[in-house]
Structure 1
Amino acid sequence: MRITPRVWIGLAIYVGYVLVIYVVSKLSGVSYTDIGTSAEFTWRGAVLDLAVGAVLLAITTWLLGWWKPALFERKRSHHKWPIFVPALMLVVAVMNLSNTDWSKFDASFLLSLLALGIAVGFCEELMSRGLLLTAFRSHLSEVWVWLLTSLLFGAMHLINAALGAPITNTLGQVVLAAMTGTSFYIVRRVTGSLIWAMALHGIWDIAAFSVGFAPIGTAWAAYLTPVIGILAVVVVYWVIKGTDEKPIRPTPAAAAARL
């Protein structure tokens, strides 16, 4: 690592990312409620700001030298069984995809949704359960790392209200995001890699936007989201237990050798 992780660095990245997403989204002129209703609005209102965020996050991660701790655990969770919660999340996403009338999507619309899923999975996971997590691990116990990254991940969605989403719906989204974000944390701890969490996050968002635009009947899977969040919070203890992922600091001799 070029730069030793610090809590303030993680918070600075978080604030900077949220500001960039807000500013670029605002300049696009697309309301949050219009995202996912057409190819144009999805490209301009979501993919554009996420693409900018992805480039800036990648550059930041490279400059800090945090790619390895941001993407990989040194030791995976001793308990593997909590992975059933993210697995349930995947099942719900597939249910939403199967409950979508895909005939209502043209090629550009489909590509915009795919780009949205890839970008949101990369950006939001690298920022919250990658860089922010790495920074918090420098001085906080793992239970606080999980809790604070989850809460900040949820709070990040408050900008949706400033971009045109109803405040009541946004507050509900904040709570659900904080809870279901725990599922992505579980994926990281159990598999040892943030990449799988990125993939699940992307599929989840693609499914949510697709079924929201063209549902076939009632989207029953939506009612399982709170259940997933509650289950994730209930079982997360077993993937936190025994965690020792604090950044390895160079010894004085090693530091002197680099001088």
Structure 2
Amino acid sequence: MRIKPTLGAAVCVYLIYSAIILATWGVVGARYANMVSADVVLTSLVLPLALGTVFLAAAVSWLGWWKPAVKEERRGGPRWALALVLIGMTGMVVVNGGAANWSGFSPTHLLMLVAAGGDGWI
């Protein structure tokens, strides 16, 4: 590990990630109010998130933070807490999926939203 994971180091990584997203939005002329229409999903969501992901993967690799990021030394809380979170998340997916107007999405638009990680569905 090159640098010990600290709040300051994590904030620096986060600020650079955010700057990449905002700079990409500025370059492509993204409008925050129109992030999910079919014609702008690729440039407004997929491209900035892909560039941010590349940066995060490179930063975490260079800093040597993969092991502490993906492996806990000791197990977290009780199993019922995990079950409660999973039930809640499943419920949200079902409710939001049932409320969505799926006929209003073209297949290409859905593919771009899935590629963006679903961030534009909100």
TM-score class normalised by the smaller sequence: 0.7 to 0.9
Q: Select between 76-85 and 45-54 the one with higher mean Cα deviation.
A: 76-85
Post-superposition CA distance 1:96-140 (Å, at most 9, x none) = 1122222222221011110111xxxxxxxxxxxxxxxxxxxxxxx
The Cα RMSD (Å) is 1.8
4+ runs deviating over 4 angstroms:
none
Does 2:30 match 1:30?
yes
Q: Quick one: which amino acid aligns to residue 46 of structure 1?
A: L
Structure 2 unaligned segments of length 5 or more: list them. none
Structure 1 unaligned segments of length 5 or more: list them. 118-201, 213-259
Bigger relative contact order, structure 1 or 2, given CA contacts below 8 A and separation 6+?
Answer: 2
Partner of 1:43: 42
In structure 1, C-alpha distance between the alignment counterparts of 2:7 and 2:92, rounded to whole Å:
35
In structure 2, C-alpha distance between the alignment counterparts of 1:60 and 1:77, rounded to whole Å:
26
TM-score (norm 1): 0.43
Aligned residues: 121
Partner of 2:67: 68
Q: Percent of aligned pairs with the same residue?
A: 34
Q: Quick one: which amino acid aligns to residue 88 of structure 2?
A: L
In structure 1, C-alpha distance between the alignment counterparts of 2:5 and 2:34, rounded to whole Å:
38
TM-score (norm 2): 0.86
Q: Quick one: which amino acid aligns to residue 66 of structure 2?
A: W
- Where in structure 2 are the equivalents of 1:202-213 lying within 5 Å? 205=119, 209=121
Partner of 1:99: 99
In the TM superposition, residue 86 of structure 1 has moved relative to its aligned partner by: 4.4
